[in-house]
Amino acid sequence: MSAAWATVIAVGGGTAVLKAVGPVVVGGRPLPPRLLGLLSMLAPALLAALVIDEGFASGRSLVLDARVAGLAAGASAVMLRAPIWAVVVAGAAATALARLLF
Amino acid sequence: MWVAAPLVPAAAALGASFGVLARTAHMGAAAAVVMSATTFAGSAQVAAVSVLGGGGGVAAAVAAALLLNTRYTPIGISIAQSFRGRFLRRLTEAQLVIDESWALAGGGTAGFDRGVFLGAGVALWVAWTAGTAVGALLGGVIGNPSSFGLDGAFAALFLALVGSQLRSRRAFAAATGGALIAVALTPVAPPGIPILAATVAALAGWRRK
């Protein structure tokens, strides 16, 4: 088996297990309220980290590049209470424009 | 699902850029498409292919990808209650867990919408897998689609979603903590670890009553 196929199989199998732990083990059973309270704080924590990762990370460096323009445009759209699709389109357009100009 | 509509072309284009990248790293078109269909996690796939293309071994490529995907375990647990039915059905639906499907559906909140999660997950899976096929087969013809500002689109998406979460001081504390952890760890930890470690910031919002 080639290195490529070995990687495809191992990553696919491993990822399937990581994704399935909660849905398969916990299933439809109710969780304790204290745990639910903790999990409800997971979304803001993870999403903020994803903004940093998608907006500023380049490998192991933090950089300011064209994505900053995308984030600024996205933030402006959020302030204007634009729907989520408009935020995404504004982010892509501003990033592409900044990359073209600079 | 219409909420995922602006992300479908973005996912297809990112899928195509993964397909192009996979071919330049000497991965066959079939392997690239199978990887997108089974792993369905962009950053991990790019990481694995980059390691292989850079001359790293299978073990290093697999470790890099799985580290990036460790966050899907806490994410899966946060919405586990809404998975019903037999083992095989829960196992299959769980494969639709990605950052975007989870976040668009209001993952981790009381308002989690299972229909949005499944609809967005399927739409993004089809776009990602089909995009990979196009990129892997036509890579040389279409050029590199990643130059269209797609990375900025996903950053803006997560910004909008975090904005919608900041309804309480607790949520604000958790978001601030998560961002600070990501900033602090990105330069020193392997890719994937900063995002996983940011889950600890949920405690900051949790304990503050």
Domain ranges in chain B?
Answer: 2-150, 166-209
The helix/strand/coil state of A62 is strand
Q: How far is CA A75 from CA A84, B18, B200, B206, in A?
A: 11, 28, 26, 26
pLDDT for the residue numbered B209:
46
How near does any CA of chain B get to the CA of A2, in Å?
Answer: 9
> Looking at chain B, which runs of residues are DSSP E strands?
none
Q: Is the pLDDT of residue B92 over 80?
A: yes
Contact B187 A96 (CB under 8 A): no
Instruction: State the number of CA atoms in the 13 A half-sphere of A71 facing the CB.
Output: 18
CB atoms within 10 A of CB B20: 23
Contact A20 B76 (CB under 8 A): yes
Residue B22 phi/psi, 5-degree rounding, is: -60, -40
| Owner of token pair 């279409």 | B142
Q: Is the pLDDT of residue B72 over 60?
A: yes
Of residues B203 and B109, more confidence is placed in: B203
- Report d(CA B19, CA A22) in Å as an integer: 30
Among A21, A85, A90, the residue with its CB nearest the CB of B76 is A21
How many beta-carbon pairs under 8 angstroms link A with B?
338
Annotated domain spans of chain A: 1-30, 32-101
- Dihedral of the CA atoms B131, B126, B4, A10 (nearest 10)? -90
Contact B103 A47 (CB under 8 A): yes
pLDDT for the residue numbered A74:
95
- Report d(CA B208, CA B174) in Å as an integer: 10
> Once rounded to an integer, what is the mean pLDDT over residues B38-60?
88
Among A14, A29, A91, the residue with its CB nearest the CB of B155 is A91
DSSP assigned state of B97: -
A61 membership: H or E segment, kind and range: strand A61-62
* Best to test chain A binding among B77, B89, B208, B209 (most A CBs inside 10 Å): B77
- Report d(CA B197, CA B128) in Å as an integer: 27
> Once rounded to an integer, what is the mean pLDDT over residues B46-61?
86
pLDDT for the residue numbered B143:
61
| Owner of token pair 């192009």 | B20
Q: What percent of chain B has pLDDT over 70?
A: 94
